[in-house]
Structure 1
Amino acid sequence: MRILASSAPFRVASLLFASLFGLQAGAATCALPSPEDTAQWRPVVHYTPQCNWMNDPNGLVYDNGRYHLFYQFNPLGNEWGNMSWGHAISTDLVHWREQPLAMRANASEEIFSGSIVADNRNTSGLGTPGHPPLVALYTSAYQAGSGHAPGTQAQSLAYSLDHGATWQPYGNNPILTLDPESKQFRDPKVSWYAPGAYWVMTTVVADAQVVKLYRSDDLIHWHFMSDFTQPGVPHDGALWEMPDLVPLALDDDPRRIKWVMIVNVNPWSIAGGSGAMYFVGDFDGRTFKPDNTAPAGSDPARFRWVDHGADFYAAGTFSGTPGSHPIAIAWMNNWDYAARVPTAPWRGAMTLPREFALKSVDGEPRLIVRPAPAFEKWADGQPTVRLGDWAVESALRELPAATRGVAQRIALTLTIHDARRAGLVVRRSADGRTGTKITYDAERQTLTLDRSQAGESNFAATFSQRHIANLPLEHGKLRLEIIVDRSSVEVFANGGRVVLTDLVFPNRDADRIALFSEDGNALFGELSVTPLQNIDQNGACADSRTTQPSQANLTTHQVQCTSAM
C-alpha cells in the first residue's frame, strides 16, 4: 500500500468533509455521468467498482460459499486518498457484486491494506458458539489527534459476526506496533500454520525492505519471530509491500512442501515501476530461508517474477479457498502512472483471479500461474469460434469477422518452423494502425507484449511500451491463452510458466485479431476464440433497491448509487 504524499491536502479536506457531513459508513459518492465517462474501457471480466479510486486487494477470504474481495478504496473521489475498504463478493470468481463500503476512514485514521481469516476455532474469543468470526488484520494509518504521531502505521483488528456484511473495530487497537513507532510498518497478511497450530503474520517495514514474521495463538497478541530480507535487493529507494507466505506442494507431491514468499516491490520491477517478485524456500514455523537467490546488485531479470507485465501489483492469495491450489488476485495497475490512467468515473481494476502451482522447471521450483479453474470452467461453457490450424508465411492474416470482439479468450499452439518471429495482434483497428502485439522471437527465445500502438498512451510518459520475458519453446511449440478485455491484455504462456499483464486503452472499434509471421513459416494450431461479453457484473452498488446493472443501464445505476447515501 503506497502513500502518495502529494495527495495529503486532498485527503485531509475530504476527511473533514466526511466528518462534518456524517457520510454513512456504507455510502460511496458516485458522480452523475458526464461526457468524460469512459465506458469503452470498463472491464467486462475484471472487477472494477462502479466509481472512484481503487488499488490494493485486501481481506481476500472464502467464507460461507462466497469469495470476498476487499480493496483499498476512496469513497469520495477518483484519486488516491481517504483510504477505506471497498467490498465485493462472488460465488464463482467470475461474477462480482459490489457491496456497501466495509470500513471507512475517519478524521484520525485511514484503513490501509491487510487480510482476513475465518477464525473457525474462535481462537480470538470474538465469536459466539456456532458463530465463529471473520477477523480482519489491517494497517491503521494515524492522523493528527489520534494519540499517535501523524503518519504512524500500526496493525489493528476488526471482526464480523455476519459473514463480512458489517465490521466492529476491536476495542484495544492497535494490537501491534513497533518501538519506536514507524511510518512504514504495514500490510499484515495472516494465515494458519497447521504444523504448529498457531497463526502467522507477515508484514513489512517497507522502506527497509524487510518482511517481519510474527505468531499468535489468538489473533490479538502477537510475538516477533524473525525478519526476512535480502541485502541489496532491490536497490535503495524501493519499497517492499504486501508480503504473502504460501505453502505449495512441488509437482503436486504433498510430501514435498516448499514455501513461496511473495514480495510486491515498487519501483524496480521487471517491467518498470511496481511488480510482484517471489522467493522459493523453506519455512520451519519461525524463519523463512530462500533457495538460490541472485547476488546483491543483480539486474531485476535475475529474480523471479509472478508476472512479467507492467500491471500486476499488490498480489495476494485468498484465505480458506477450497481445492489444493491457492487462488490469487492483484491490482491491475502500476504506480508509475496509476494516478493518470484515463478512466472515469472509476480508476482501478483487478486482474483475473489466478491459480498458483509450483513445478520443477529446468531443475528448479518455479511458480506456475494460470487463470483460476472457476474462470476456465465458465469460459469453456461459452460459445466458441473454432478455427483449426492456420499456416502463415511471411505475412499478416486477419481472422474472420466472427472472431471480432473487445472481450475474449484466445487459445492456440504456435509452431515456428523457419520464421524469425511470429505472433498475433489483438484489439486491432480496421486500418491496422492500432493493436496490441504479442510476438515470439525464435532466435532470442523471448515473448514480448507490445502496447506501443495499443491506443491512448499520452496520459503519462512512464506508460512503458514493451515487456519481454525469456521463454524457451516446449517441444518446439508455444501454447498461448490470451484474455482480452476492454482495457487489458493478459497472456498466459506454456501453461502459466510465463504471464504478462498490461493495460491498454484502444478505441471502441478496435476489435479485430490478426496473425503474423516474419521471414518464414509459422503454424497457428488449434486456434479458438471465445467471446466473453455475455457477462453483467461490474459496478453493482448493492443495497436493497438496486440490482446488477447492464452497461446500457449505467446512467440509472449511477443515480441509484448516489441516492443510496
Structure 2
Amino acid sequence: MAYSIDNGVTYQPYSDGAIMSASSAKAHFRDPYVFFNKETKKMTMYLAEDDKIGVYTSGDGKNFNYVGATPLNSGALNGKDLGLIECPNLKTMCDTTTGTTKTVMFFGANGYNYGQTSGSYYMVGHLDDNGVFVAEQQPKRVDDGSDYYASNYFQTSDNTNILSIGWLGNWGYSCKKIVDANNEQSYKLGSLSLAHQLNLTKVNGEYTMASSLVKPYDSLTKTVKDTINTSQLFKDNDGYYQLLDTQRWTSQNFYLQMTNKKKGTVCGNIHLSFKQKDSTVDLNYNADTGYYTVTRQTKNIADSDANTEYNKKFVEQSGVVNPNVFKLHVYTDKTSVEFEFENSGRTYSLLKYSTEENLLFNIETDSENDLFYSMSNIDNK
C-alpha cells in the first residue's frame, strides 16, 4: 500500500513490505480491488484466489480480515469451471429498461470448457451483509473475442454506464517468441482495445451486458463511400458475389450496411477478409442463423505451440438473424481487429500480429445482399 499527499504526483510506501501476504509462495493471491462499502462502513477487498474470489474487510485500510468468498469452481458453475480467476472488479449498475440497481462482478477467466479462450467475464447479483458478492445468474463474456482480457472498468458517476478497456493478449501466445519484419524477437505482449461502453439491460428475464465500441470519429480521414448492388454483378465459381476488393492503409475504420431488396431481409453467408503479407483475419457471418466464425493466421509467431493456439477457430452468436438492415463496424490496425454488430450489443476483439502498412479488404456474399460501405483511415497524428 502507498499513499500520496500531493494529489497523486508522488507516492510513499506505507511500510517496507506488503500489508497482506499469501499463505505460501505458490498460492494464487493477486489483483486486489478495494472499495469503500457504504453499508458496512468498511474498506472491502476482492482478491483473485485460484477458482474463487476472496473477500476481506478493514476498518482502517491497513489490517484486513477474511469474511468470505465468491466461488467460481465447477460446483458453482453447473459443472464447468472457468480455470484460474484473475482481475476482480465490482460495479453497481442501473438496468436501462426497468431502473433496477444491480451489483455486477467482473473478472478474468478461461473459457476452455465452453469452447472459448481466456476473456473478461461478468456476473450479476448482490452483496450480502459482509460485502461478499452473491451471484444470481451464470457468468457471461463482456466481449466475445479471443483476446479481451485483464479489463479495466470506469464509471463517471454512481450506477451509470461503464467504459471498459481490455488487454488484447493471451498467455497462450503473447508471452512466446514474436518476431518482427527482420525475424528478430520483438517482445510485444499485445495491445489495448478501443474503449467499450457497457450497458446493463434485462432480456427475457435475464440481465445482459450490451457492449458497443467508442468510435474514434475525430481521428478519421480520407473517407471513401459507395453502394454496390448484386444485380450488377455475377457470381464467381464458388457461388459468391464479390462486393468489394480493395487496398487500404492498415489503420482503418470500416462501416458496412447491407440490405436485400429481392428477399426482404439480409440472408445467406457474408464473408469478410483482411489480408496482409504476414497476417490474415477472416469473419464468416451466416445471416440465417446469426452465428459467425472468426479465423486468423500470422507469420510472426515463431513458437509452433503458440501458433497453433493463435490459429484456433472460434464460433460465436451475433444475435442478429435475417435483419432488414445488417450493420457492422470494424476497426483494424497492425495489432488488432475489433467488430461491433450494431444494435445487438455484441462485440468481438482480437489481437493481430502484423508489420505491414497496407491492408487488402475483401467482402463477398452468396445471396442478393446489396452493400453500402464507408472506409476511413484512423489517423492519430
Aligned equivalents of 2:132 and 2:159: distance in 1? 27
In the alignment, is residue 245 of structure 1 matched against residue 123 of structure 2?
A: no
Aligned equivalents of 2:32 and 2:155: distance in 1? 13
Q: 1:270 to 1:496 in 2, by over 3 A?
A: farther
C-alpha contact (below 8 Å) 1:326/1:356 kept by paired residues? yes
Match for residue 446 of structure 1 among 291, 295, 306: 291
The equivalent of 2:241 in structure 1 is 395
Secondary structure (helix, strand or coil) at the match of 2:229 reads strand
Q: How does 1:431-442 map to 2 (within 5 A)?
A: 435-442=280-287
C-alpha contact (below 8 Å) 2:110/2:117 kept by paired residues? yes
Match for residue 383 of structure 1 among 207, 221, 236: 221
Aligned equivalents of 2:128 and 2:81: distance in 1? 29
C-alpha contact (below 8 Å) 2:255/2:329 kept by paired residues? yes
Secondary structure (helix, strand or coil) at the match of 2:170 reads coil
Post-superposition Cα deviations, 1:364-395, rounded to whole Å, max 9, x if no partner, equal: 211112224xxx3x424633525254334632
CA drift of 1:410 comes to 1.5
Aligned equivalents of 1:351 and 1:270: distance in 2? 23
Secondary structure (helix, strand or coil) at the match of 1:307 reads coil
Query: In structure 2, what residue type is equivalent to 1:199?
Result: M
In the alignment, is residue 317 of structure 1 matched against residue 163 of structure 2?
A: no
Match for residue 27 of structure 2 among 148, 158, 183: 183
In the alignment, is residue 342 of structure 1 matched against residue 185 of structure 2?
A: no
Post-superposition Cα deviations, 1:47-95, rounded to whole Å, max 9, x if no partner, equal: xxxxxxxxxxxxxxxxxxxxxxxxxxxxxxxxxxxxxxxxxxxxxxxxx
Q: How does 1:165-564 map to 2 (within 5 A)?
A: 165-171=9-15, 173-177=17-21, 183-206=27-50, 209-232=51-74, 233=77, 238-251=83-96, 255-266=99-110, 268=112, 272-284=116-128, 286-293=131-138, 303-318=139-154, 324-340=160-176, 341-342=178-179, 344=186, 346-372=188-214, 376=215, 378-380=216-218, 382-383=220-221, 385-392=223-230, 394-399=240-245, 404-415=248-259, 417=265, 419-427=267-275, 435-452=280-297, 456=300, 459=303, 460=306, 461-473=308-320, 475-495=323-343, 497-506=345-354, 508=356, 510-518=358-366, 520-525=367-372, 527-532=373-378, 534-536=379-381
Query: In structure 2, what residue type is equivalent to 1:465?
Result: K
CA drift of 1:158 comes to 1.5
Post-superposition Cα deviations, 1:507-547, rounded to whole Å, max 9, x if no partner, equal: 515413222102x211334x222211x225xxxxxxxxxxx
Gap regions ≥5 residues in structure 1: 1-156, 294-302, 537-565
C-alpha contact (below 8 Å) 2:257/2:328 kept by paired residues? yes
Aligned equivalents of 1:346 and 1:484: distance in 2? 18
C-alpha contact (below 8 Å) 1:308/1:467 kept by paired residues? no
Query: In structure 2, what residue type is equivalent to 1:213?
Result: V
Post-superposition Cα deviations, 1:336-365, rounded to whole Å, max 9, x if no partner, equal: 112223352543322222222112234321
Gap regions ≥5 residues in structure 2: 181-185
The equivalent of 1:150 in structure 2 is none
Aligned equivalents of 1:182 and 1:468: distance in 2? 35
C-alpha contact (below 8 Å) 1:271/1:308 kept by paired residues? no
Which structure dedicates a bigger proportion of its chain to helix?
1
Aligned equivalents of 2:351 and 2:22: distance in 1? 38
The equivalent of 1:61 in structure 2 is none
C-alpha contact (below 8 Å) 1:469/1:498 kept by paired residues? no
Query: In structure 2, what residue type is equivalent to 1:473?
Result: V
Secondary structure (helix, strand or coil) at the match of 1:511 reads strand
Query: In structure 1, what residue type is equivalent to 2:170?
Result: N
Aligned equivalents of 1:331 and 1:490: distance in 2? 13
Secondary structure (helix, strand or coil) at the match of 2:249 reads coil
Aligned equivalents of 2:311 and 2:115: distance in 1? 8
Q: 1:476 to 1:456 in 2, by over 3 A?
A: farther
CA drift of 1:228 comes to 0.5
CA drift of 1:428 comes to 5.2
Query: What is the TM-score of this pair, normalised by structure 2?
Result: 0.80
Query: What is the TM-score of this pair, normalised by structure 1?
Result: 0.56
Query: In structure 1, what residue type is equivalent to 2:351?
Result: L
Query: In structure 1, what residue type is equivalent to 2:100?
Result: R
- Give the root-mean-square deviation of aligned CA atoms: 3.2
C-alpha contact (below 8 Å) 1:357/1:369 kept by paired residues? yes
C-alpha contact (below 8 Å) 1:210/1:228 kept by paired residues? yes
Secondary structure (helix, strand or coil) at the match of 2:175 reads helix
Q: 1:443 to 1:267 in 2, by over 3 A?
A: closer
How many residues are paired up?
355
Secondary structure (helix, strand or coil) at the match of 2:348 reads strand
Q: 1:457 to 1:345 in 2, by over 3 A?
A: closer
Q: 1:444 to 1:164 in 2, by over 3 A?
A: same
The equivalent of 2:183 in structure 1 is none
C-alpha contact (below 8 Å) 1:428/1:513 kept by paired residues? no
Aligned equivalents of 1:322 and 1:371: distance in 2? 21
C-alpha contact (below 8 Å) 1:311/1:501 kept by paired residues? yes
C-alpha contact (below 8 Å) 1:491/1:499 kept by paired residues? yes
Query: In structure 1, what residue type is equivalent to 2:207?
Result: P
CA drift of 1:333 comes to 0.6
Q: 1:163 to 1:354 in 2, by over 3 A?
A: farther
